[in-house]
Structure 1
């Protein structure tokens, strides 16, 4: 499984069939940085823009930006499969 990253930030991405959008959130930081796009290219650009805004904000308020870690992997399991194993 490939991981979408930008400037050392690992993200989780989901796709919503109803809205036809990809949604993403940066993992393993205390705050919430989210982004969205209709295509993979839009999603990547939105991620890059969000990270850049976060870094600028941290600089403005004098806070060291957090880095997300690459140690976690996410596996999505359909609830019906998970429940049948319990």
Structure 2
């Protein structure tokens, strides 16, 4: 397993040989949620507890928890690549967004929506 998953949140798994400790952070959000453990099971438990603590903190503050990987992001590319992609999308009678989404699906191997 490369990542931990819990309630829609994904966490990294890293190792510190200096501390002989596993650690990680929640990916795909601006806020920092980190966790650690001496074993894989401890790491997983601390990850889940950290997510639950984050939910409790948000509730106390009256704010909505940040949702990871919302499905939108900015991409910065050269103007010439942007032009080529936009013209290709027009020729294909699709949107630039659909063209980019299909290219990403092909690259990462996800099934079409």
Q: Which TM class, normalised by the smaller chain length?
A: 0.7 to 0.9
Q: Which structure 2 residue ranges, 5 or more long, are not aligned?
A: 72-113
Structure number with the higher strand fraction is: 1
How many residue pairs match? The answer is 71
TM-score, normalised via structure 1 length? 0.75
Root mean square deviation of aligned Cα: 1.8
Structure 1 segment 1-86 matched on structure 2, within 5 A: 2-69=2-69
Name segments (4+ residues, structure 1) moved above 6 Å.
Answer: none
Name which structure has the greater RCO, CA cutoff 8 Å, separation 6+.
1
Structure number with the higher helix fraction is: 2
TM-score, normalised via structure 2 length? 0.58
Q: Which structure 1 residue ranges, 5 or more long, are not aligned?
A: 72-86
